[in-house]
Structure 1
Amino acid sequence: MISYPATIFLSNLVRKLKTISSLKIRQEFFNQIRRILWGKRFWTKSYCVISVGDGATTAIIERYIKNQRPN
């Protein structure tokens, strides 16, 4: 869950998050992940964004995210 200022383009934010996380994961786990990478890419170019209105509190959103574990 991310809260960011409206002055930042969402696409730029996602691109930076993917770049930084990819670099850090590769640095720490490269030997474990190298066989399952898509060529040189770690992330796909896709992303999903879901926004919520004023009726959802931070606690409700956090609880929803935490409950998204696979069965």
Structure 2
Amino acid sequence: MDISDDYRRGRHVVSVLHVHVVFVTKYRRGVFDEAMLDACERTMRDVCADFGARLVAFNGEDDHAHLLVEHPPKVAVSALVNSLKGVPGWMPRAEFTGRVNHASMRGRFRSLSYFAGSTGGARIALSREYIEGQRRPAPMR
């Protein structure tokens, strides 16, 4: 597929599909710092690439993370979100053991729930602006 002019073009399809996804920590505990969000963003970019999707915007605060993902029509949003939830969920535990273990409840770092909303047209710019405007926490010392 070719991605140009914000449209994804394939042999039999032209599409532009975006989803705004929000993940929260268990009990909305303030766990994330800048380093953790940076690590999550890198991992989530890789997961998106595996699906042929593109992470357009990523940001978060100490208790949640926002993603704006452009994805091909053959990818079910639920499959993409489940992979995004699953893979990065293990990453912070390995790199940030002390911080994650302190905040985890019954072995869970993140809430099992998520928000996913489709966006299109002018809403994409608004979603991107909203995500980029999140108050990212400062690095931990």
The TM-score bracket by the shorter chain reads 0.7 to 0.9
SS of the residue corresponding to residue 48 of structure 1 reads strand
Q: Relative to total residues, which structure has the larger helix share, 1 or 2?
A: 1
Q: Relative to total residues, which structure has the larger strand share, 1 or 2?
A: 2
1:26 maps to 2:93:
yes
State the 1:67 CA deviation.
1.6
Q: Aligned residue for 2:32? A: none
Q: Aligned residue for 2:122? A: 55
Q: List alignment gaps of at least 5 residues for structure 1.
A: none
Determine which structure has greater relative contact order: mean sequence separation of CA pairs < 8 Å that are 6+ residues apart, divided by chain length: 1
Count of matched residue positions in the alignment of Structure 1 and Structure 2: 69
Structural mapping, 1:32-47, within 5 Å: 32-47=99-114
Following the alignment from structure 2 to structure 1, what is the Cα–Cα distance between the partners of residues 124 and 101?
40
Q: Once the two structures are aligned, what percentage of the paired residues are identical?
A: 28
1:15 maps to 2:76:
no
Following the alignment from structure 1 to structure 2, what is the Cα–Cα distance between the partners of residues 28 and 62?
28
State the 1:61 CA deviation.
3.1
TM-score where L is the length of structure 1: 0.75
Q: Aligned residue for 1:2? A: 69
Following the alignment from structure 2 to structure 1, what is the Cα–Cα distance between the partners of residues 128 and 121?
15
Structural RMSD (CA)? 2.0
Amino acid at match of 2:132: K
1:22-69 deviations in whole A, cap 9, x for unaligned?
1111110012221211212222221101222223454x4322211233
